[in-house]
Amino acid sequence: MFNNIGLPGLLLIAVVVLVLFGRGKISSLMGEVGKGITAFKKGVDDGSKELEDDMAAGAKDVTPADEKDKV
């Protein structure tokens, strides 16, 4: 469906969007999109760190009892 748009079609779409919404509205929208992406990345990083912490806390010490006293 969108295989035949090409560069002129994309430019026309960009101009129409700019005329309809205005430069200020588009820049504020892009700012909100950037904040959303940043918040999403932070959430993913926090979630993976939480999973790693849970796995580390659940790790089992398999050192034999007689070896634990040796240091």
Mean pLDDT of 46-65: 80
| Biggest CA pair distance of the chain | 78
The per-residue pLDDT for 51 is 86
Structure token pair of residue 31: 């700012």
Kindly tell me if the per-residue pLDDT of 69 is higher than 80: no
* pLDDT score for 5: 81
* Residue 70 confidence (pLDDT): 67
Helix (H) or strand (E) holding 36: helix 23-57
Q: Report the pLDDT value the prediction gives residue 62, as an integer from 0 to 100.
A: 72
Extract the tokens encoding 48: 């993976």
- Cα–Cα distance measured from residue 6 to residue 13, given in angstroms and rounded to the nearest whole number: 11
